[in-house]
Structures are given as C-alpha cells and as structure tokens.
Amino acid sequence: MAGAGRDFALGALLAVLSAWGIVAAPWLIGKAVNELKRTSTEHLALVALAVAGAGLLTAVLSGAALWLLGRFAAAAGARIRDLLYDHLLVASLDLFRAQPTGQLVARATADVEPIKLLLTGGVSVFAQLAGTIGFAVVVMLLIDPELAGIALIPLPVAIAVQLLYGARTRAATVRAEERRGIVATEAADDVRAARLIFALGLEGRERAQFARAVAALFRGYLRLGRLDAAYGSVLDFIPYVSLGLVLAFGSRGVVDGRISLGEFVTFFGFASILSVASNQVGYFTYLVASAAGSATRVLELLHHPREATGADDADPGGWRGLTLDGVSVTQQGTAAPLEDVDLDIRPGETIAVVGATGAGKSTLLDVVDGLIEPERGEIATGGEHPAGLGLGGLRRLAALGGEGSGLFSMSIADNIAYGRPGATAAEIEAAARRAHADSVVARLPDGYETQVGEEGGRLSGGERQRIALARALLVEPRILLLNNITSSLDPKAANEVLSSLADAAGADRVLTTNDVATLTLADRIVVLEEGRVLCTGTHEELLETCPRYREMVALWEEQ
C-alpha cells in the first residue's frame, strides 16, 4: 500500500494545483477589461491564449489527479475486500447464523463501491474545491474586503444546509443499503431453493415476496432522491443570492470609483466560480454520506468478534483419544442445547449417538468438530496427561462426512481434495473407492473433472454424501464425524459404505443415525435426551437396560 499512498498524496496535490487554472481565467479577463482603452488588441489575443492555456492546464492536472486517485481507490477497495474476506474466515460462526448470506455478500461487494467512489471522485472534487475556494477568497479579499464579506454572507447558511443534508442522507443511505442486502438475500435463497420452489409450485409467492423486497428498496432510493431534490434546490439557490449581492454592491463600487471595471469583472468571475463550487460541495456531501453509510456496515462486519480458536497449532502427538468433561452448550442460536455431557472417545473406537429430533446429536458433532465452543466444560486429549484443546486443535483432528458437509461449485476431484490441497490423483481415487464414490464417478462423462454445480446440485443426495465422505477420508482425520451417513443411500449403497467404514482403520468414528444396521457398527452407543446423556452401552446392552433406546429402535424397525 506504500505505492498507493504515494498515488493518493500526488493525486490530491495535482487536484489542488488544478485550481490555479480555474482561478486564472477570471483574473486574466479582468486584466484585459482594464486595458480595453488601448487601440491595439494584440494583448487580447495573448490573454485569450493564456485563458486557453489555463483551461488546458486544469484539464491535464485534473485528469492526472483522477488517474492517480482512481488507482489508489482500486487498491484501497481491493484491500478492504481482502480484510472483509479474511475476517469472514475467522469470524465467530454466530455471525453466519445471525446474518443472511445476501447481507454478508452485499457488505463485501456492493458496500465497498461507494467508498471507492469517494476516494476517487470525492477526493478529487474536495481537493480541487479547497484550492479553488481558497484562491478565490484570497483574491476577492485583496480586491475589496468589504465586497468579499458581502459576497460570503450566504456561506454559513450553505454550510448549515450541507451538514443537515449529509446527516439525513447518511441515515437514508444506511437504510437503503440494508434493503439492498435483503433483495440480495431473497435472490440467493430463491436460487438455492429453486428445485423446491418449482416442486411446490410456489413461484408466484416467491415472485411476490421478491417484488415486496424490491419495492422497499425502491422506496429507500426514492427517499434519497427526495432528499437530493429538496436540499439540492436550496443549495442551487444560495449561490445566486451571493451573485446578486456582488452585482448590486460591486456595480456601485465601480460607479463610486472604489474598484475598476476590470476588478469588478474579476470579482464577479470569482463569485461565479464559488457558485459552481457550491454545487460541487453538494455532490461531495452526497459522496461522503453514501460512503459513510457503507463504511458503517463494513465496520460492523469487521468489528464482529473473531473466533477464539485457541490451540490451533497444538500437536496432539501420539493419539490417546478425546475426552469431553461436563460440556454444556446453551446459547448457540438454533443449535440444540447440551447439558453436562461426559464422553470418552477412545482410540480406534466407533461411537453412535442417537436420540430424538432436538436431542443435541448434531450439536455434539459440532462441538467435537470445533464449530461450537461450549460455555462450560473441557475438551482434552485422553491418556494419563490430558492436553486441553481449543477450537483450532479440534478442527485439525476431526473431519465431517454425511449430511451438512456440503460441496463446492467445482470438479469432483477438487471437492474430494479440498481438505488436502496437493493430493495426487491416485490418493483422490483411493479415497473415492473407500467411500464407494468411484461408481458414481464412473457413470459421469467427465469422470473426476465433472463440475458438480452450486452445492453439488448436479448430483443426487446419495452421490453428494459419498463425495463428501471421500473428502473426509482423504484428510485422514483422528476423528471421523458421520452425520446420518446412510440417510440418502439406497440399501445396497448403504451396505457398501458401512462395510467400507467397518474395514477402515486409523480413525475414531462418531456417527449419528436412525438406521439400526448402522448401529451394529458401533462399539458403544450414546443415547441423548434433551441434551443430556441418558444411557451408554452396546446395542445389545441398551436393548435390555434402556427403555428409551428400545422404543426408538422399535420405531426405526417399523419404518
């Protein structure tokens, strides 16, 4: 950004210097008027050339200033987007639970543009205005301080109107940008859920809902337009008051002999420049208000707490399993709560977690995966000398497969290798075979280079699950988390995947399921009830000792 800083400083300086060309013209014309009594007009030709030269100087300096400031704004915009994206990657997951996708995307994209516009056109306008107004006021004071004071009488009124306009525009801009985020969210949700919308025949309802969001955005922009019209008309009128005062009192000064006709022309030219500058101040005020509204939304995102990942560089050394001691999760938005959960995950063990909907199964997997930080309790590696683990350490140990693991809009090979960049084709294919995803790939015309579409939309639910499982297996995690791994598979495919997992070595497995066949893989089964561990044991033991488990198994077998 050092080079960008130089672009900003030099661009602002050139914009200020370009004001010399603007103020030179009235001064030159005034000099020419004072010498009209001469019979020769050669000097007038020189004045005309000088005025044209001043205009050329202004054009060159202004163009160079805009180029340099535009380059700075592009670099600043890229830096802001980098900061936003970097922050999104380390922000607490509460942010993604609380904010719709469209709002987050709008803040990282559309909200940066008004800031860039201010840094380009806004800075150029402000610097040129500062130079123009400064030079004009100094010359006017030198010509006739009394007349200059009269000409500047409307200035405090103009400043007050500008400040009020800026404050009201900023608030309206924030509301309009929020509504634009809502429109983006509606569009993103409809695109993601297009199959469901078509299947249920709800196109009309979604169209009406989107139309309401667009209408609200239209009203927001309409309010901005009304503010522009109301305050803009006042700001357009004020300079004419100044010009009228200059004409009335300045002409009297010429008649009284206090100032020459040329000085009056020069003075009136500067007053005209100030009237144009006043309109440009209105434009600059709008840019500031718009950028301030966007900056408020950007800063809200940047100030959202980062996730405390803890010991994310910790090396667990020889794997000794994982221990959850009194883990409680009670304030995680939509996540089902957990209360005083004690669980030992021993090396090489397969644990099945079962329970009714809302019992806390998925929450438990998220805790082990480092996606939710418990409010109470401790998570540590097992053994005689346990070592506490933060969220980062847990994420290095665990990998998720099954429901909720998701796919990216890229090739099958890239999806499988996502958690292990640099994996060879042979390693990718081996992971696919272990997950029985190779049969899925074999049916596709482009094989492993097949693009799966957004969220894997070109694949079936079962195919997506097997690709996600292959990705988890390629990482070779210490703990493999399997959320309803067979839920979208037909019986044959489910048996293949279960057989593959039963033969897999090197990772502990924690799985949730409603499938009795899957439960037979488990060394232990944990029954959750309203976030608490109700009972633990093997399938056979729980059938004898846990009435709640017997009830659930009976219901599953009837399905």
* Residue-wise pLDDT tens digits, 277-296: 776 777 777 788 778 878 88
Same topology, domains 2-302 and 322-406+475-558? Answer is: no
66-86, pLDDT tens digit by residue? 888 888 888 888 888 888 888
Q: What number of other Cβ atoms are within 10 A of residue 335's Cβ? A: 19
Q: What number of other Cβ atoms are within 10 A of residue 388's Cβ? A: 12
316-341, pLDDT tens digit by residue? 555 677 888 888 888 665 567 888 88
For 322-406+475-558, which CATH superfamily applies? P-loop containing nucleotide triphosphate hydrolases (3.40.50.300)
Higher per-residue pLDDT: 540 or 195: 540
The amino acid present at 15, given as its one-letter code, is A
358-397, pLDDT tens digit by residue? 888 888 888 888 878 788 888 877 654 445 667 777 777 7
Q: Report whether 328 contacts 317 (CB < 8 A).
A: no
The whole-number pLDDT of residue 502 equals: 58
CA-nearest of 275, 280, 281 to 237 is 275
Q: How confident is the model at residue 356 (pLDDT cuts 50, 70, 90)?
A: confident
159-186, pLDDT tens digit by residue? 788 778 877 887 887 788 788 878 888 8
What are the backbone angles phi and psi of residue 325, rounded to the nearest 5°? -120, 105
Q: Report whether 372 contacts 93 (CB < 8 A).
A: yes
CA-nearest of 183, 173, 174, 189 to 215 is 183
Q: Please compute the mean of the pLDDT values over residues 455-468 and round it to a whole number.
A: 80
All structural domains of the chain with their residue ranges: 2-302, 322-406+475-558
Higher per-residue pLDDT: 6 or 41: 6
For 2-302, which CATH superfamily applies? ABC transporter type 1, transmembrane domain (1.20.1560.10)
Q: Tell me: pLDDT of 39 over 60.
A: no
Higher per-residue pLDDT: 196 or 448: 448
The whole-number pLDDT of residue 283 equals: 74
Mean residue pLDDT across the chain: 79
Q: How far is CA 317 from CA 198, 323, 382, 383, 475, in A?
A: 52, 16, 11, 12, 17
What are the backbone angles phi and psi of residue 127, rounded to the nearest 5°? -65, -40
The whole-number pLDDT of residue 243 equals: 81
Q: How confident is the model at residue 552 (pLDDT cuts 50, 70, 90)?
A: confident
What is the rounded distance in angstroms from the CA atom of residue 538 to the CA atom of residue 296? 55
Q: Report the largest interatomic distance among the alpha carbons of the chain, rounded to a whole angstrom.
A: 123
The whole-number pLDDT of residue 53 equals: 85
Q: Tell me: pLDDT of 449 over 80.
A: yes
The whole-number pLDDT of residue 375 equals: 81
- Copy the structure tokens of residue 441: 């790939």
What are the backbone angles phi and psi of residue 484, rounded to the nearest 5°? 50, 55
- Copy the structure tokens of residue 69: 């400031």
Q: How confident is the model at residue 504 (pLDDT cuts 50, 70, 90)?
A: low
Q: How far is CA 499 from CA 108, 275, 405, 504, in A?
A: 45, 83, 21, 9
Q: Please compute the mean of the pLDDT values over residues 227-237 and round it to a whole number.
A: 81
What is the rounded distance in angstroms from the CA atom of residue 205 to the CA atom of residue 481? 38
CA 420 to chain centre: 26
Q: Tell me: pLDDT of 37 over 70.
A: no
Q: How confident is the model at residue 312 (pLDDT cuts 50, 70, 90)?
A: very low
Cut 0.75: pTM above it: no
